[in-house]
Structures are given as C-alpha cells and as structure tokens.
Structure 1
Amino acid sequence: MSAETLDHLRATRTSYDKIADVYSERYADGLADRPVDRAQVAAFAELVRGNGSAPVADLGSGPGCVTARLRALGLPVFGVDLSPRMVELARRAHPGLRFHVGSLTSLDLPDGTLGGIVALYSIIHVPDEDLPTAFAEFHRVLVPGGHVLLAFQSGEEEERLHISERFGQEISLDCYWRTPQTVADHLTAAGLRLQVRMVREPYEDETRPRAFLLAGKPA
C-alpha cells in the first residue's frame, strides 16, 4: 500500500471519527424515506438468499442502519467501517449485530466466503487509482454466484470534491463523483458481471443523481 493511500485512509478515518456522533444521529436510518433505494436493497437480498447461506458484508456500514435492514430481510450480515467511532456507535445502536473496523481495499476475509457485498455511498471515498484494488477484493471474497450492490452519487462527468468542514468540524474528506459507466467498467475489469444499472433523480435534500449498480460473480 502506497504512502499516499495510507495518508488518504488516515484522513478519511479521522474525519469520520470527528463527525460520527452527529452523522449517526442525523442518519440513523438513511433509507427510511427512500422507497426506491429500499427496493434495490430488497432485490439484492432476494438474489443472495437464492444462492445459499453465505454471509453478507455491509462495507462502509456507518451507523449500521443498512446492516440492520439486511438482517431484517433474512440475511446473515455484518458491517465493516473505516471509522472506529462509527463502529462503536453502530454496535451500541444494534447490539445484536456484528461490526468491525476495516477498509474496502484490504478486506480481512478469506477467499470465497461472502454471499454478497453491499457498499452504499462508500466507494465515493476510494481514489480512482485504488478502485480496481477494491473491486478485485470484492471478487476475491465472494462465493461463485455472489452479488454486489453499489450506490453512489453520480453525474455525467468525473469530479473530485474536497470537503474541509462538516457539522462544525474541521475535516479532510475527498469525494469522487463518477459516471455509472466508469464504475461499471471497473466492475467488469475485476471479473464481476453487471446485471442492473439504475439512476434516480435527486430528492429535494440531495444535489446529485444516485446510481445503483448490481453485479455478480459468475457461478
């Protein structure tokens, strides 16, 4: 792992540690008023249930609300987040679920052990040069026939945004807005087969369209 990647991970971890309490309170259930988003999660869960009983990882689990929703949909699931404070708060909010600290680009999991991966709005913090590594990790840890559900802020052009303040805290977060085609191309290059591509327009409190990609590891 390069020194630049390590610096980026540290900055992202520190930033989310700083805002974790306010973020977790404000987005305790980020899908509560998002019926279209919930439908994508439900479809993912149905596909995963049809391919066996291997566990699912919610990568970038934050407050744990998506992890809890996946469990309610009948999946054996655990959450992974880069921020130790986020993990602590998720464990407190959902004591019956498992959460641990980890990175999308270096998953502490054996090969071929996951039935599915959900990464909602977490790949936006993965730099362009590290995205192939993350998707190669997804492919490595999935069982044959396993599925990946991604959601991310999208647009017609690639764009990088640096955020230096949020919720009154001084932070250092880089966000990478990508087109659905760019992300789909990376998934394909990693050996994952694209199954669904959907883009919804932003709600009133959002500024960018939301893209959803569903992909699978060939059986």
Structure 2
Amino acid sequence: MVEHDALRATREAYDAAASTYAQLFRDDLRDRPFERAILNAFAEVVSECGNGQVADLGCGPGHVTAHLDELGLAAFGVDASPTMIELAREAYPGLRFDVSSMAAVNIADGVLGGVLSRWSIIHTPPQELPAILGEFHRVLAPGGHLLVGFSASDGPSHPTQSFDHAVTLAYRWSPDHLAAMLRTSGLAEVARMIREPQPTDRRQFQEIHLLARKV
C-alpha cells in the first residue's frame, strides 16, 4: 500500500511530539465530565450488543484505551505513530497496541462491537475521509457502534475547514455534513453531543461526538 503524504506527515509529526503529547493529555479525561459521559454511553451500548471488542483507532499514548478497558470493554489501541505505540505499551503493558494506519487496519471484517475515533480523523484530508469511514464500517459487526469525536466547523456553510493544529495541519467538520458521510458509509447516527468552547479551552471550537450504528 502506498502511503499518502498526509499520513506520512502526521506520523512523523506525532512521533516527534509523542513524549510531550503523552504528558499533556494522559490525564485529560479527569477534567472532561461530558466526554467521560459519552464514553460511558458508548461502552454501555457496545456491551448491550454482546460484543465488547473495541478498537481505539488513533489511540495516541493509550490513556483512552485504558479507560475503555476500565469500563469493561475488550479494548485495544491502534495508531500510525510507532513512538506513540511504544509509549502506550510502556504505560499499559497489559493492553494490546498495534502500529497501523486507519485506512488499512489489520482487523478482520465484521468482528468489532465498537470503534472509537477520538480526534483521530482531524488530520485526514477531506477527499480521503470516505475511505476511512468505509474502513470503520468494514471492521464493525452488524449493529456495532462507532463513536467519533472532532472539532466543528463554523457552520453548515463550511462542510470542512482547515486549521493550524499545534502538531500538524488539521480539519474541522460540519456535524451535519459528517453525519451524512456516515450514512453514506452505512453508519446511522444514534446520538450526538455538542460541547460549547469554554474560556479555558486551547481552541474556541465546538467539540462534537457522533455516535453511529452499523446498519
């Protein structure tokens, strides 16, 4: 498989920033009650379907993978950055972490009860996102759930907007536009959570979490 320039740039940028990133964000869920709530809801709906195997795609240093494990899911992490995966394995030696691109994960068709994509699509160029969503659909079992988190664009008239992320180029998405892309990929929206920016946030963007089910 030929590696896209955006993927290579993202992997290299996160390899370089991995240690700093892990230190900054290892405990970030502690101060994010709304995000913990949507993760709890995700864990419940996945468990109710009887298949608790979940892939945290774009897992970074593994702290959210570990949180999903604490919620009772059989969670494992996947990230394109080898350095991130090294840090995750060191921090959580009892969990599985694999190096892979989201565009071609080493997971069989239809085996997962859930996929978490927490701010992992933001570095994907818009023209490449349908293939990523198709991969999410491929690995999910029928009735499996996807939870995707991202930053919102400035409104419906802006389906996508690029912005200068601290690590590398990133994209914001209109929630309605991304929900429509999920539907096209065979993933029906179940719920969404919108968190308004707070004065202490690094960026003044809405945070969106879309929960979808494979139909």
Compute the TM-score of the two structures, normalised by the length of structure 1: 0.91
Question: Which residue in the other structure is 2:207 paired with?
Answer: 210
Question: Which residue in the other structure is 1:100 paired with?
Answer: 98
Question: Which of 111, 114, 120 pairs up with 2:112?
Answer: 114
SS of corresponding position for 2:28 = coil
| Cα deviation 1:3-41 (Å, max 9, x = unaligned) | xx6211111100000000011011112211000000000
Question: Which of 154, 160, 176 pairs up with 2:162?
Answer: 160
| Cα deviation 1:33-79 (Å, max 9, x = unaligned) | 00000000000000000111351000110111110010000000100
Question: Which residue in the other structure is 1:45 paired with?
Answer: 43
Aligned-partner Cα distance in 1 for 2:112–2:55 = 7
SS of corresponding position for 1:105 = helix
Question: Which of 174, 186, 189 pairs up with 1:179?
Answer: 174
| Cα deviation 1:115-139 (Å, max 9, x = unaligned) | 1000111110111011110111111
Unaligned 5+ segments in structure 1 are none
**1:162, CA displacement in angstroms?**
4.0
The AA in structure 2 aligned to 1:160 is S
Aligned-partner Cα distance in 2 for 1:187–1:15 = 28
Question: Which residue in the other structure is 2:9 paired with?
Answer: 11
Aligned-partner Cα distance in 2 for 1:54–1:37 = 20
Check conservation: 1:117, 1:138, Cα contact below 8 A.
yes
Aligned-CA RMSD value: 1.4
**1:206, CA displacement in angstroms?**
3.2
Aligned-partner Cα distance in 2 for 1:198–1:69 = 19
Aligned-partner Cα distance in 1 for 2:123–2:144 = 24
| Residue 35 in structure 1 maps to residue 33 in structure 2 | yes
Check conservation: 1:29, 1:66, Cα contact below 8 A.
no
| Correspondence 1:17-96 to 2 at 5 A | 17-96=15-94
Aligned-partner Cα distance in 2 for 1:132–1:191 = 11
SS of corresponding position for 2:23 = helix
Aligned-partner Cα distance in 1 for 2:202–2:114 = 28
Aligned-partner Cα distance in 2 for 1:108–1:97 = 17
Check conservation: 1:68, 1:97, Cα contact below 8 A.
yes
Aligned-partner Cα distance in 2 for 1:145–1:49 = 11
The AA in structure 1 aligned to 2:209 is F
Aligned-partner Cα distance in 2 for 1:46–1:179 = 27
Runs of 4+ in 1 over 2 A off after TM superposition: none
Q: May I ask how many residue pairs the two structures share in their alignment?
A: 209
The AA in structure 1 aligned to 2:181 is H
Aligned-partner Cα distance in 2 for 1:85–1:113 = 27
SS of corresponding position for 2:150 = strand
SS of corresponding position for 2:115 = strand
The AA in structure 1 aligned to 2:188 is R
Unaligned 5+ segments in structure 2 are none
Question: Which residue in the other structure is 1:125 paired with?
Answer: 123
Check conservation: 2:51, 2:112, Cα contact below 8 A.
no
Check conservation: 2:6, 2:123, Cα contact below 8 A.
no
Aligned-partner Cα distance in 2 for 1:190–1:106 = 16
The AA in structure 2 aligned to 1:88 is E
The AA in structure 2 aligned to 1:35 is P
